[in-house]
Structure 1
Amino acid sequence: MTNILFICGKALMRSPTAAAVAGRMGHEADFAGLSEDADERLSAEHLAWADVIAVMEKAQLARLKRRAGGALKGKRVVCLDIPDRYAFMQPELVELVTARLSRALR
């Protein structure tokens, strides 16, 4: 089974939605945020647990690489390229996550 960690800014809308979608697809999933005021801040434990790390935006990918560096070694890291304009479990977000995640995991 693949452990997928979804990362966005504050872990409020996109990454929790993505984790729920991935769970429905049969994956183990968790989420975290890069911001200091994130509901669930990214930790070393998150990174150690994950087989795949999916960020929502290219800027977050760059920030993750700067912050986590060596902890990403051996991990598959993908960018879903999903902008921050959706509500939690918004149908359009669910569709977008489903399509992009399926493509990213091929």
Structure 2
Amino acid sequence: MNVLFICSRNQWRSPTAEQVFRRYPSLVVRSAGTSRNAKKKVSHDLLHWADVICVMEQKHKNRLVAEYGRIIEYKSLHVLDIPDDYLFMDPELVTIFLDTVPERLGLVIEEKAGR
């Protein structure tokens, strides 16, 4: 499953999600940002590549719908409701991802039971 994680600047949240989930063999993950100043900007190619899109906030979904509505119309898109309050690999952010994303993606994460 190709999963694209999106936040604003592709600086803290979406790269953390990419790092956390890149080790799972059933997933191929990438990250991007909606801002013009993003380290890696959302593109048509990334959105076509993705099977599933996970955005951090409703505003990210709104921007995607406005700019790329036709591309994402039939994609699975999840709003994670994670505010921009965390730095890269913040342990609390990692925990939030592990507690929410696997269920949204229909994954069974063995490591979760051991935490």
Provide TM-score, normalisation by structure 1: 0.94
Once residues 80 and 24 of structure 2 are traced to their aligned partners in structure 1, the CA distance between those partners, rounded to angstroms, is 16
Q: Whose radius of gyration is greater, 1 or 2?
A: 2
SS at match of 2:37: coil
Once residues 24 and 98 of structure 1 are traced to their aligned partners in structure 2, the CA distance between those partners, rounded to angstroms, is 13
Render the CA deviation track for 1:7-42: whole Å, top value 9, x for unaligned.
000000000000111112331000000001101011
Identity %: 41
List aligned pairs for 1:48-63, cutoff 5 A: 48-63=48-63
Aligned to 1:25: 24
SS at match of 1:54: strand
Aligned to 2:86: 86
Return 5+ residue gaps in structure 1 as ranges.
Answer: none
SS at match of 2:29: strand
Once residues 24 and 97 of structure 1 are traced to their aligned partners in structure 2, the CA distance between those partners, rounded to angstroms, is 14
SS at match of 1:67: helix
Aligned to 2:36: 36
SS at match of 1:24: coil
SS at match of 2:22: helix
Q: How far 1:80 sits from its partner (Å)?
A: 0.9
Aligned to 1:4: 3
Once residues 44 and 84 of structure 1 are traced to their aligned partners in structure 2, the CA distance between those partners, rounded to angstroms, is 24
Provide TM-score, normalisation by structure 2: 0.87
Q: How far 1:74 sits from its partner (Å)?
A: 2.4
One-letter identity of the residue aligned with 2:19 = A
Number of matched pairs: 105
Once residues 91 and 71 of structure 2 are traced to their aligned partners in structure 1, the CA distance between those partners, rounded to angstroms, is 33
One-letter identity of the residue aligned with 1:66 = A
Calculate the aligned-residue CA RMSD, in Å.
0.9
